[in-house]
């Protein structure tokens, strides 16, 4: 595999394309949104006709991204879809695309991502698992395209970088992530302000939801698994949205002895009743949670992965105990 060639191919495609449609995975996180917006503005700078697509079901976006403005966003297929180069950002698997019109045959897809388990569903695939975030790949592309890092672009990239590296704390934090941060700060990012927006100044319901999650904590197998669970009732009682559970799993991973941190939450949409979303975080180098998530129909990174399941909470806990034990 030559990453250089993949990057060259994507660069050639981006240079040559006149019309593009950019998109990202369902339940978009900071990296998804940041890469999307940064890529869009870079392409606009180059005089391209770029639109962004996200399903209307994704709105409202998580509260921490309230200041990100998506001008040029469409919620339905544009009429000239077949003339557009489609760019997927941060999406490891086509199943994470909630709409069918972007899954069809005959689309010209550039797949730009950093998930090691990316299924390479694109026409051209630029997949770099060494990149801390997809925004880091976009940052490199922007440099090659000689785009100016405007304060807006820098901010969007920085949001992807900070959220996907866990504020520069996960294993994916590299010299390049810090070089990128330095460059973005020079381009106008205010790290403290971004941090305030992302991690503080949040609605009180978040703390109330966290309170319920903490009250639910269970430890299994001498604490190797630390798990919190949220029911529909917890969301109703606190008036919380699904996206308000973002970050809760990080409290589970912060406990001594934990190898795998888990947050399980019941999905709220009527048509997803009975389904649970599971977030996994590995804090023990021997455990690759993307393998566990993959075995259960999801995926992700070795240290952070997720899936949706029909299993009951008890069945799920048993399955996780078996899967984790098999890796230790």
Question: Which residues would be at the binding site for Mn ion (CB under 5 A)?
Answer: 31, 90, 133-134, 164
Question: CB under 5 to 8 A by kind: which of ligand 5GP, Mn ion, none does 113 bind?
Answer: none
Question: CB under 5 to 8 A by kind: which of Mn ion, ligand 5GP, none does 276 bind?
Answer: none
Which of residues 43 and 305 has its CB atom nearest to ligand 5GP in the complex?
Answer: 305
Residues near ligand 5GP, by CB under 6 A: 92-93, 96, 115, 279, 298-301, 304-308
Which of residues 165 and 229 has its CB atom nearest to Mn ion in the complex?
Answer: 165
For 171-239, give the DSSP string: TT--HHHHHHHHHHHHTT--HHHHHHHHHSS--HHHHHHHHHHHHT-EEETTTTEEEEEE-HHHHHHHT
- What is the rounded CA–CA span in Å between residue 288 and residue 185? 33
Cis status of the peptide bond prior to 60, with omega within 30 of 0: yes
- Of 253, 312, 257, 254, the C-alpha closest to 280 is 253
CB of 211 vs ligand 5GP, minimal distance in Å: 20
CB of 31 vs Mn ion, minimal distance in Å: 3
- Percentage helix, strand, coil, to 5, in the chain? 45, 20, 40
Which of residues 172 and 309 has its CB atom nearest to Mn ion in the complex?
Answer: 172
Which of residues 70 and 121 has its CB atom nearest to ligand 5GP in the complex?
Answer: 121
CB of 246 vs ligand 5GP, minimal distance in Å: 7
**Residue 36, CB half-sphere, CA atoms under 13 Å: how many?**
28
Which of residues 17 and 244 has its CB atom nearest to ligand 5GP in the complex?
Answer: 244
CB of 68 vs ligand 5GP, minimal distance in Å: 18
Which of residues 50 and 172 has its CB atom nearest to ligand 5GP in the complex?
Answer: 172
* In the block, residue with structure tokens 């949205």: 241
Helix (H, G, I), strand (E, B) or coil at 54: coil
The pair of structure tokens assigned to 76 is 């339905």
Question: CB under 5 to 8 A by kind: which of Mn ion, ligand 5GP, none does 96 bind?
Answer: ligand 5GP
- What is the rounded CA–CA span in Å between residue 140 and residue 85? 20
Question: CB under 5 to 8 A by kind: which of Mn ion, ligand 5GP, none does 155 bind?
Answer: none
Question: CB under 5 to 8 A by kind: which of Mn ion, ligand 5GP, none does 139 bind?
Answer: none
> Which residue number has the CB closest to Mn ion?
31
- What is the rounded CA–CA span in Å between residue 182 and residue 72? 29
């Amino acid at each position: 595999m030559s990453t250089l060639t993949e990057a060259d191919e994507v660069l050639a495609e981006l240079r040559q394309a006149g019309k593009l449609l950019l998109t990202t995975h369902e339940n978009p996180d900071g990296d998804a949104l940041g890469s999307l917006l940064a890529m869009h503005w870079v392409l606009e700078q180059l005089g391209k006709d770029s639109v962004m697509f996200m399903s209307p079901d994704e709105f409202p976006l998580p509260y921490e991204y309230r200041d990100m403005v998506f001008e040029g966003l469409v919620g339905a297929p544009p009429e000239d879809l077949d003339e557009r180069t489609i760019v997927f950002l941060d999406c490891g698997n086509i199943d994470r695309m909630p709409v069918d019109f972007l899954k069809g045959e005959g689309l010209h897809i550039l797949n730009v991502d950093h998930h090691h388990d990316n299924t390479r569903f694109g026409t051209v695939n630029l997949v770099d698992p060494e990149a801390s975030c997809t925004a880091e790949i976009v940052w490199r592309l922007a440099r090659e395209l000689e785009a100016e890092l405007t304060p807006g672009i820098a901010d969007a990239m920085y949001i992807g970088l900070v959220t996907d590296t866990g504020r520069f704390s996960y294993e994916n934090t590299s010299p390049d992530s810090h070089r990128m941060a330095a460059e973005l700060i020079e381009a106008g990012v205010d790290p403290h302000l971004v941090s305030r927006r992302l991690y503080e100044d949040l609605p009180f319901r978040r703390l109330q939801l966290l309170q319920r999650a903490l009250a639910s904590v269970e430890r299994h197998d001498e604490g190797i698994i630390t798990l919190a669970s949220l029911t529909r009732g917890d969301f109703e009682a606190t008036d919380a949205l699904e996206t308000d559970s973002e970050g809760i799993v990080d409290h589970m991973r912060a406990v001594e002895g934990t190898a795998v941190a888990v947050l399980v939450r019941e999905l709220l949409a009527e048509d997803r009743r009975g389904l649970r979303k599971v977030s996994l975080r590995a804090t023990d180098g021997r455990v690759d949670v993307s393998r566990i998530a993959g075995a259960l129909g999801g995926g992700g990174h070795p240290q952070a992965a997720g899936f949706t399941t029909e299993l009951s909470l008890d069945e799920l806990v048993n399955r996780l105990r078996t899967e984790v034990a098999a890796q230790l």
